[in-house]
Amino acid sequence: MVRDESNFLDIWLRHYQTVLPQADLVVLDHLTSDDSIKHAAQVHNFQVKPVNHPAYDDFGWYTERIEAEQRELLNDYDVVVFAESDELLWHPDGLSAVVSRLKHDAIRAVGWQVIEQPDEPPVVVDRTLLPQRSTWFRRPTFDKTLITTVPLKYSHGFHHAEPEQPRDDDLLLIHLHTIDKRWAREKKRRIVTYADYDQQTKQTNLGWHNRVVDDEFDRWWSNLELQFRMEPIPQAISDAFPT
């Protein structure tokens, strides 16, 4: 599901069209106001489903809407792959191989988050991504169950799914939220301007990191480097990554 994803939508489409038929890619558009959907449609062939909900980042509604879409798609497809706009699934044998030899109802990925280093320039969108970055860190909360043959029940953020599924340690969920510091800063500044931001989400402090701006953003970014162990992205993965 997207809103105003001018940076990530094109990357997401480019990545998943390498493993799935373009016409089978479905994007849920939650009141996009920029040209990202229009621009992407000029380059890619994908389905757009408008969704209208009066609040942004209403985690309860968001989760239920994704679960409903998954159930609906499973009426037409044997396997459904779900990923948010800044999440790229990758397997050394290719996602199509994972799907074709699936032995369980669903499979869980291993979460890694790519992060920009101080000496690295901004990402060039039309170049392969991972060679532009040297560092990532392990994020167990992103060990998400995103490839499934059965409807799943998700926690907020899709970090957990029921019924629980086995993990494929070669299936990586590469999270791009911090691949470009400028993109991350701009997105959070944009989010806090949404007049329809869900008030209950604010009051319960869910997704608090989505709303950090200015000095608070800088502290949040610095804390990532303190909280997690930074590791070099393996050259073999960087070289093999298609997007």
Determine, yes or no, domain membership for 205: yes
The answer, yes or no, to whether residue 173 has pLDDT greater than 90, is yes
226 in helix, strand or coil?
helix
- Phi/psi class of residue 216: alpha, beta or left (left: φ > 0; alpha: ψ in -120 to 50)? alpha
Rounded to the nearest 10 degrees, the angle between the axes of helix 8-16 and helix 36-43 is 30
Extended strands (E) in 19-158 = 26-29, 47-50, 80-81, 87-90, 106-115, 135-138, 145-148, 153-154
Q: What is the pTM of this model?
A: 0.95
How many domains are contained in the chain? 1
The answer, yes or no, to whether residue 88 has pLDDT greater than 90, is yes
Supply the range of the domain harboring residue 204. Answer: 8-240
Determine, yes or no, domain membership for 1: no
Query: Which one has a higher pLDDT value, 195 or 5?
Result: 5
Distances (CA, A) of 63 to 66, 152, 158, 181: 5, 11, 7, 27
Determine, yes or no, domain membership for 213: yes
pLDDT in tens, 1-43: 999 999 999 999 999 998 888 889 999 999 999 999 999 999 9
Determine, yes or no, domain membership for 154: yes
pLDDT in tens, 113-166: 999 999 999 999 989 999 999 999 999 999 999 999 999 999 999 999 999 999
The three-point CA angle 49-52-217 to 5° equals: 100
Determine, yes or no, domain membership for 3: no
The CATH code of the domain that includes 125 is: 3.90.550
Determine, yes or no, domain membership for 27: yes
Please state, as a whole number, how many other Cβ atoms lie within 10 Å of the Cβ of residue 194: 15
